[in-house]
Amino acid sequence: MKTDVAPTLDGGSAQIPTDMPTANRPMNMGQSMNDNASRLDGIAKITGAAKYSSDMLLPNAVYARFVRCPFGAASLAGVDDAAAKKVPGIIDIEVVPKDCTYHGQPVGHIAGDSPIAVNRALKALRLQWKKQPVKVSIAEGAAIDPPQGEIDGADATLLAVYSTPVQTHSSLETHGGVVDHRGDKATVYASTQGTFSVRDGFGDAIGLKNADFEVVCEYVGGGFGSKLGGPGKELILAAKLSRKFNRPAYVMCNRAEEHLDTGNRPSSVTKVKLGFKKDGTCAGGEIRTYGGVGVAKGGGGVSIPSGRYTLGTIDKKHEDVSFNAGGPRAFRAPGHPQAAFAEELALDEIAAKIGMDPLDLKRKLARDDVYRAMMDEGAKLIGWKDRKANGSQKSVLRTGYGMGTAGWGSAPPGGNAEVVIHPDGSVESRTGTQDIGTGQRTTMGICTADAIGIPLGLVTVRIGRSTLPPGPGSGGSVTSPTTAPTMMAAATQARTKLLEAVAKQSGENAADFAVQDGVVLRRGERVLGWKEACALLPADGVSGTADTGDRGKGDSQGVQFVKVVVDCETGIVYPKHVIAIQSCGRVICRKTAESQIIGGVIQGLSYGLFENRILDRNVGAMVNANFEWYKILGPGDMPHIEPVLWARGQTGVKALGEPPTIPTAGALACAVFNAVGVPVRHLPLTPDKVLVALEGGKA
């Protein structure tokens, strides 16, 4: 642990704890606005001082849960709620007979004075269900014939079918929140990715004007897309109950409900017919994709071809397939990990057919030089020179190498931000934008401190309330690109007003003054300390506001390399090393940027190795709606992950949330292909599929 020294408001100094630079990532040092700052809310989170929506156990609260269909398709024919109503503490039961089309579909709710009472009433509730026939997969809803034929003019043609499973949302904090309705006012504690979409989405449920209630989401326990789009059914129910009983209402999903009814990354099937010349030139082909959207009518798109490779003329068609399961919601880079898995593995298969190193093929096909430069750097870091030919190893433990690419667009600056410099030297950075765990509170503080020229320790950041300046939802990797330039513009404006006050007092030109490391300079010479300068301000200080900023240049491109060891007796895949090179414009905070990349890789590995919603084919119920059988990557499964921040040609703040999770599963599959010599074309890469491949079949 090292410490930075920052001036305090009494003229002394304070030690701000920061971590030492990570020894194995020296390439990332010196490339961000702040290399060593730790999260401003880190201590609050690890000590429990941070209060999440799920922590808001308010006095005299009402607790509620939905009554849900236990089958994939069934009719609720009758309700006998007499026993449930007799459970002590139950105050409200509403169940409406209806036809249900997926496991977990709500048919009503039960509310009571305690969670225990509600759970007892749910068990006591006697519902009469009439089960209906179900469909539980893409294959049952669409005719998917294998691709056939050859591509004219091609030296090699790849005919293949790839598939990916449903990935459910598994944020640490589940969906829902608390509504505290007090008649003419209310407070909403929301686990959300959109402070202002929650505020604007209640309609008549809360019975108040937007100005008469406040949405609070200062701490959110994660969100990967499913907490976008307004209050959701959980908060709508909480609002209605709180309004009805004039008591706080607590409605949070449990883990099973989270798997069943909060959306998902839809399953996919991708049929590929691609032709190639021996020199690696693509002669075009056909791609057919199918998205498994459950009871939804859309949302299953697969973004292939990605556009990152030159693949000639591709005839692409897509079909969304409905069946008896919960529908999709946005999920970190919607449609892209599914596509990257199929695209990257297909190119490796083509490379094997034409006798090329897959890295050479992808380098040739890459659409721009940034990808090629990243590939060259990543190949050195992963040790690609040690890669052996596909399937050439005969030992039990076989090593494989794979790589994949990522790309993402970026949002323009926007939202609203305010920075206030107070006469006592304290600085406030204000934006209502939420922090879903990615570091928004920390990055806003760094942007403010850097733009003004003061230590981060002088800045207090206020976020996650609808009474603060409005900002964007956390979706599509827009949060930092939207808010960071705006916050810097607001801070610059506030600094200018401070320097104008200093110049006025001394009769000088404000343009001759600057702030550096918390000291006011005139033509490079020290004039005043920070506290002395702020003492010249009026009683209410000075503020800067902005709704836009400098967009800069750069883009969010990435390349990942994965090294695995495959146990050919058990079929288990052990990821050992991941190099994740990622550009994201100007990096604000090194550690939060590295964390985003590492987290994206972890999620991609989990998707590639383990995650899979399993539906009972007879009744359509999810059989693994828990964390025991719905497996996600754990500490024992973790490889060494090296995030590399690519700063060449980057100036403006760009997207970082989505791109790091796009290429991982595809790169992983390519590495397994290299190790065993046969492609495993269906995620997750579980031992049974690897063993089938080793026995001579394409799993």
pLDDT tens profile 225-250: 999 999 999 999 999 999 999 999 99
**List of residues 6+ apart from 51 with CB closer than 8 A:** 218, 219
pLDDT band at 575 (very low <50, low <70, confident <90, very high): very high
Q: For position 10, what pLDDT does the model report?
A: 40
Query: Please, what is the average pLDDT of the chain?
Result: 95
Question: What number of CA atoms fall less than 13 Å from residue 327's CA on the CB side?
Answer: 13
Q: Which tokens sit at 91? A: 């105050």
The Cα–Cα gap between 400 and 386 comes to 10
3-state secondary structure of 44: helix
Q: Among 281-295, 544-558, 619-633, which is the least confidently predicted range?
A: 544-558
C-alpha 439 chain-centroid distance? 12
Surface-to-core class of residue 392, CB atoms within 10 Å of its CB (0-12 exposed, 13-18 middle, 19+ buried)? exposed
85, with CB counted inside 10 A (0-12, 13-18, 19+), is middle
pLDDT tens for each residue of 540-563: 999 999 999 998 877 899 999 999
- Which residue type, as a one-letter code, is found at position 434? Q
Quick one: pLDDT band at residue 698, thresholds 50, 70, 90? low
What digits encode the pLDDT tens for the residues 116-140? Answer: 999 999 999 999 999 999 999 999 9
| Torsions phi, psi for 678 (to 5 deg) | -130, 135
Q: What is the CA radius of gyration of the chain?
A: 28
Q: How far apart are alpha carbons 133 and 482 in whole angstroms?
A: 47
DSSP reduced 3-state for 611: coil
Q: What would the pLDDT profile of 35-56 be if each residue is shown by its tens digit?
A: 999 999 999 999 999 999 999 9
Residue 5: what pLDDT?
41
Q: Are 515 and 534 spatial neighbours (Cβ–Cβ below 8 Å)?
A: no
What pLDDT digit, counting tens, does each position of 449-500 carry?
999 999 999 999 999 999 999 999 999 999 999 999 999 999 999 999 999 9
Q: Model confidence over 195-221: pLDDT tens digits? A: 999 999 999 999 999 999 999 999 999
Upper half-sphere CA count for residue 467 (Cβ side, 13 Å):
11
Q: Give the residue-averaged pLDDT of 153-175.
A: 97
Q: Has residue 335 got a pLDDT over 50? A: yes
Q: Residue 697 — very low, low, confident or very high, per pLDDT cuts 50/70/90?
A: low
Residue 108: strand pairing partners: 67, 95
Sheet with 213-216: strands ordered across: 90-95, 106-112, 62-68, 249-252, 176-181, 186-191, 213-216
Phi, psi of 667 (to 5 degrees): -65, -40
Tallying the residues shown for the chain, one arrives at 699
Q: Where are the beta strands (DSSP E) in 32-141?
A: 32-34, 62-68, 74-80, 90-95, 99-100, 106-112, 126-131
| pLDDT computed for residue 590 by the predictor | 95
For residue 266 the two structure tokens come to 């839809």
Are 263 and 226 within 8 A, CB to CB? yes
Query: pLDDT confidence of 16, banded at 50, 70, 90?
Result: very low
CATH 3.90.380.10 assigned to 264-410+553-694: no
The residues near 48 (Cβ < 8 Å, ≥ 6 apart) are none
Q: What percent of the chain has pLDDT over 70?
A: 96
Whether residue 680 is predicted with pLDDT greater than 60 in this model: the reply is yes
How high is the pLDDT of residue 15? 40
Where do the structural domains in the chain lie, given as residue ranges? 61-134, 264-410+553-694
Domain spanning 61-134, CATH architecture: Alpha-Beta Complex (3.90)
Secondary structure (DSSP) of 380-445: HHHTGGGPPPTT---SSEEEEEEEEEEEE--PPS-S-EEEEE-TTS-EEEE-----SSS-HHHHHH
Nearest to 6 by CA among 487, 453, 488: 453
Beta bridge partners of 16: 4
Q: Which string of DSSP letters, residue by residue, matches 313-360?
A: -EEEEEEEEE-SSPPP---SSTTHHHHHHHHHHHHHHHHHHHT--HHH
> Which of 92-106, 174-188, 543-557 shows the lowest per-residue confidence on average (mean pLDDT)?
543-557
Q: Could you give the CA distance from residue 406 to residue 633 in angstroms, rounded to a whole number?
A: 21
- What element of type H or E holds 178? strand 176-181
